[in-house]
Structure 1
């Protein structure tokens, strides 16, 4: 992770950029946190709704595959929710807060945590989501009397499709982080 951050910082330094002033820095930091707050609110709603929908659609007590699928997917969603809260910081009201060395260090840590959620934990979530859905569909495909070869093909195609979708989603988010969060980390480290 540290190597990635160093590489990203070097890429940022190579680009022609104008130095940020403190008011712009505060504006950008608050914008990042407001976006994070919205994501946390969405996750707080999405996690229980998804679990309730899965539990309603899948008769969890009648089949161990459904129960395992719900537990795995729920674990992945809760993991992302926890990581999202680990990167939470309070909005900055004035530049006096940025004079505190400990506060800046904590802010840098929170921003790096946000990047780590995208680069590492989203892949764990992807793995758990794909695993959970594939386990959930074992029984569904058996009930339709699909041959073992067709079942394997369906699982493989679904897995590849989900990984591709998540890959592009994660890469897009990483690019947004590189443009939005890395310059903030770099600037804060230079303040330190």
Structure 2
């Protein structure tokens, strides 16, 4: 089983390469991507910055306009082309700061320009469900990542985490369970097919 010691070691090697690198952490909803990314980020300190894919959620008003509000979180409910464009700017590592949006779960919306990526930061960590999808425009993401990890925890544990998360943000237990099995698990099946494109598959929760 891959643990945090190895994950941090791999991230440090990327950060010490002398060039701007991008590390991608992918996996199904509830896989623990944010938890792993935050843990690695804390260990690397000022050598890394975290830019979650979730900042590119389409606004709720746009989802309603497009008729997609009832499946928020699916691949076509994100500005995937905008995410790809941001990763390209990050890779260029010009002399100026780059700003990324941040998704706020408490309001289910994103704030533009909330995450600064300073030119001197050697490693950018990005995490999200669809980093390894082999369908445009998502398919462009993989080539922009220097290393990609895929998190594969126990599915029963993952689903229970998802239900608890939805409850914590205001859904009733019945509503949370309905959303997870109707929407999140449909997205999880899409994500599972991208596992083979990762450099490292982390089976189970890292210790």
Bigger helix fraction = 1
TM-score (norm 2): 0.27
TM-score (norm 1): 0.28
Asked which structure has the greater CA Rg, the reply is 1
